[in-house]
Amino acid sequence: MPIELEPLQACPPPAAVAGPPACAPWKASVVAELAEVVRNEPVNAEYRHLVVSCSEAAAQAQPGQFFQLLCPQPAGEQPFLRRPMSLYGADPAERQVAFLYKVTGAGTRGLDTLRTGDRLDIMGPLGVGFRLDPRWRRIIAVGRGAGLATLAPLARAAKANGTEVTAIFSARRPELLVSVALFERHGAEVIAVTDSESTSGPANVERILRREIAERGCDAFFTCGSSRLMRVQQRLAREFGLPGQVAMEQQMACGIGLCYCCVRDFNRDGEIVSRRVCWDGPVFDLMEALP
């Protein structure tokens, strides 16, 4: 089936992303900068927590946005492209941003070599993040794997809005769960499901979601990191008429909408359209996402 492109009429008029030279002097809103590593340490057997001090602009990053990291070269390997990493936390006052990453290949192995005081070239903030409606009383976030890193900053942002959060976190084993303490610190309720305890299957997650909706209500769904769990939420969102947002992943080269390598298909009113995860997302309407 040929991928159809976004039809002409569906496109909003182009927003001027860069002001013409006549206006105010031009200023970069996306910068590649050498940030200084504050901390880079293991969280568990798979994940590392990286904190860097950065510019004011970078520290303004919003939940769901990401950075493109120019990873150092680990011995014998040469990652060439930057690697996308979700914002895990930002501290505008201290001018710091944090990432939570899993060591999987050359790039993340390179990140793992960073020591306090080293420099890391970070480019961002990039992409469209989560939108939180201040009127929402309660949202449910479902995540798995690196998706938990992406959802993490939601907890704080929701709290600032006075919105309650229930998080359903999925992992292979309990000791591989991350972000639980962070969510709980911001008053969120965390329900952990794992493969090792046989609680992570879609059926059980659906059961939990139905119970949560029934018992405590829900104004919106958020998800990242598992297309199987996303499908469960899509079904329930349709059933209960809930809005939802999903943060998608895709391999990236430029991270800023130039190269079209990061496209995924979306269902826009019955039509399959191709959109750039880095530029149109990474956060998309839950109902439009295709697994």
Partner 1 sequence: MNAAVRPGPRSVDAVDLSVSIGGLRLRNPVMPASGTFGEGLGKALDFSRLGAFVTKTVTRELRAGNPLPRVVERPSSLINAIGIPSRGVPYFIAQTMPHYAAFDTPLVVSISAPTAEGFASLAAELSIPGIAAIEANISCPNIEEDGKAFAMRAESTERVTRLLRAATELPVWVKLTPNTGDVPEVARAAEAAGADAVVVANTILSMAIDLKTFKPCLGNIMGGLSGPAIKPIVLRQVFQCAKAVTIPIIGCGGIATAEDAVEYMLAGASAVQVGTATFLQPAAMTTIIDDLAAFCLHREIPRVTDLIRGVVIEEADEPDLSWLDPLP
Ligand X SMILES: Cc1cc2nc3c(=O)[nH]c(=O)nc-3n(C[C@H](O)[C@H](O)[C@H](O)COP(=O)(O)OP(=O)(O)OC[C@H]3O[C@@H](n4cnc5c(N)ncnc54)[C@H](O)[C@@H]3O)c2cc1C
Which residues lie near a second copy (CB under 8 A)? Answer: 73, 75, 119
Q: Residue 86 binds what, of ligand FES, ligand X, partner 1, none (CB under 5 to 8 Å, by partner type)?
A: ligand X
Residue number, 77 or 197, with CB nearest to a second copy: 77
Compute the distance between CA of residue 16 and CA of residue 20 in angstroms, rounded to an integer. 8
d(C-alpha 32, C-alpha 34), whole Å: 7
The nearest distance, CB 256 to a second copy, in angstroms, is 21
Helix (H, G, I), strand (E, B) or coil at 204: helix
Residues 132-191 that bind ligand X (CB under 6 A): 146, 149-150
Q: Closer CB to ligand X, residue 212 or residue 265? A: 265
Residues 88-117 that bind partner 1 (CB under 8 A): none
Query: Min. distance of Cβ 185 from partner 1 in angstroms?
Result: 25
11 burial (CB, 10 Å; 0-12 / 13-18 / 19+) is exposed
Q: Does 263 bind partner 1 (CB under 8 A)?
A: yes
Q: How far is the C-alpha of 211 from the C-alpha of 59, rounded, in Å?
A: 37
Closest Cα partner for 186 from 209, 152, 150, 216? 152
Whole-number Å distance between alpha carbons of 126 and 64: 9
Q: Scanning the structure block, which residue is given the tokens 């006052």?
A: 93
Taking residues 10 to 29 in sequence order and writing x for each that binds partner 1 by CB under 8 A, - otherwise, the string is: -x-xx-xxxxxxx---x-xx
Judged by DSSP in three states, 290 sits in coil
Beta carbon of residue 111, minimum distance to partner 1 (angstroms, whole number): 16
Residue 174 phi/psi, 5-degree rounding, is: -55, -40
The Cα angle at residue 247 between residues 246 and 253, in degrees rounded to 5: 145
Q: 222 with 209: CB under 8 angstroms?
A: no
Spell out the alpha helix ranges (H) of 86-201: 106-112, 147-160, 180-185
Per CB under 6 A, contacts with ligand X among 252-271 are 252
The minimum distance between CB 262 and partner 1, in angstroms, equals 8
**Which CB sits closer to ligand X, 104 or 267?**
104
Whether 224 and 152 have beta carbons less than 8 Å apart is answered as: no
Check residue 251 for interaction with ligand X (CB under 6 A): yes
Span of 52-60, 77-85, 184-192, 228-236 interacting with ligand X by CB under 6 A? 77-85
- Give least dist CB 21 to partner 1, A: 4
Torsions phi, psi of 107, nearest 5? -65, -50
**Is residue 66 at the binding interface for ligand X, with CB under 6 A as the rule?**
yes
Q: How far is the CB of 225 from ligand X (least distance, A)?
A: 9
Q: Which residues bind partner 1 (CB under 8 A)?
A: 2-6, 8, 11, 13-14, 16-22, 26, 28-32, 70, 78-82, 123, 144-146, 170, 195, 200, 225-229, 249-251, 253-261, 263, 274, 279, 291
